[in-house]
Amino acid sequence: NNVAVYWGQGASQARLSESCQSDDVDIINLSFVNGFPDNSPGGWPATNFGNACGEEMYSNNGVKTELRSNCPQIGPDIKTCQAAGKKVLLSIGGGSPTNYYINNATSAKDFAEFLWGAFGPQTDEWVAAGLPRPFGDSSIDGFDFDIESLMPDPPFADYESRGYADLINYLKDYCFPAGPNEYYISAAPQCIVPDSHLSDALEHSWIDFVFVQFYNTALCSARTGLTDMAAFTYNAWSDHPSRNPNVRYYIGLPASTEAIFTDKSYYLSPAEAFTIASDYYTDDKFGGIMLWESTYSKRNQICGKEYAYYMKDALI
């Protein structure tokens, strides 16, 4: 059972390699690719990794994109993390901005090829074509989908869910190579079942991990797992139709009260989190605990240990 953390949006965050020094973290999601080719200038995706990047952007055919080109520490730190046995995924989506979408299956295929070319294993063909490699010759271990799109005037009715199963299936079936190196897909739905963004992808594409966000939604937050078991939706997620029969579900928690900008009661003390984890630890689809996010975990020191330490301890 693993602990996954997000990194990239913490206030005054330390560099990525700091998050990899902990034995209590197994998976790190780099956040975020927060704009998609269909809605971003220059037809390339947008990225934002907080203070880890400068303001410089790539240009495509003379058009300035929102794909950041100066993130000098992330590439080397990915290698440091992987050398320490961590899996590093690139998270797609996020909660700001929320105006992203995929037009159709062709857009999904093109987006998948760009993500793999820019962030997967570096190829001579990609470099010779002058295409971007924001993290240099470092390669991520897969992709996470934290889809939270919300638009007052959407381009089409099913903008929240359209294209994600196509994108994931193309990555899995055509981009990820056969061989000893494994590549992963994860999804991070809200806790309400079904999730308007990702339930379709979970049912119709191959997803390895599901990091359910048991926060931000009062009806089914992790707090309900302590106060109203009927409202807590872990079991509903565990029973959710999935193309991957061996999918693993994680209980997503905020790593401190500062990690939550709405209701601070979404935060669970280590003892409360232990109670929740122990209730579902024996479920054969239980994968572990996900935390938002690494910086907040490190700053939430309890008896000299960061919050992630107690989450890992709860899973042992």
Query: 182-191, pLDDT tens digit by residue?
Result: 999 999 999 9
| β strands within 169-256, DSSP E | 184-187, 209-213, 248-254
| Spans of the chain below 50 pLDDT | none
Residue 181 pLDDT: 84
Residue 316 pLDDT: 87
Residue 315 pLDDT: 96
**What gap in Å lies between CA 51 and CA 48, rounded to an integer?**
9
Residue ranges per domain, the chain? 2-315
Helix, strand or coil, per DSSP, at residue 88: strand
| Positive or negative: CA dihedral 87, 182, 170, 290 | negative
Residue 35 pLDDT: 98
State residue 102 phi and psi, 5-degree precision: -120, 120
Token digits of residue 102: 């995929």
Token digits of residue 186: 């994860």
Token digits of residue 286: 């239980």
Residue 169 pLDDT: 98
By DSSP bridging, strand 301-302 and strand 63-68 are: unpaired
Active-site annotation holder among 55, 66, 125, 148: 148
- Answer yes or no: 56 catalytic: no
5: part of which helix (H) or strand (E)? Answer: strand 2-7
Cα 265 to chain centroid distance, Å, stands at 23
| 256: DSSP letter | S
Helix, strand or coil, per DSSP, at residue 68: strand
For the chain, counts of helices (H) and of strands (E): 11, 12
Reported as a single tens digit per residue, the pLDDT across 51-69 is 999 999 999 999 999 999 9
Residue 184 pLDDT: 98
**What gap in Å lies between CA 32 and CA 95, rounded to an integer?**
9
Alpha-carbon dihedral 293, 295, 299, 301, rounded to 10 degrees: 50
Q: What is the CATH number of domain 2-315?
A: 3.20.20.80
Residue 242 pLDDT: 98
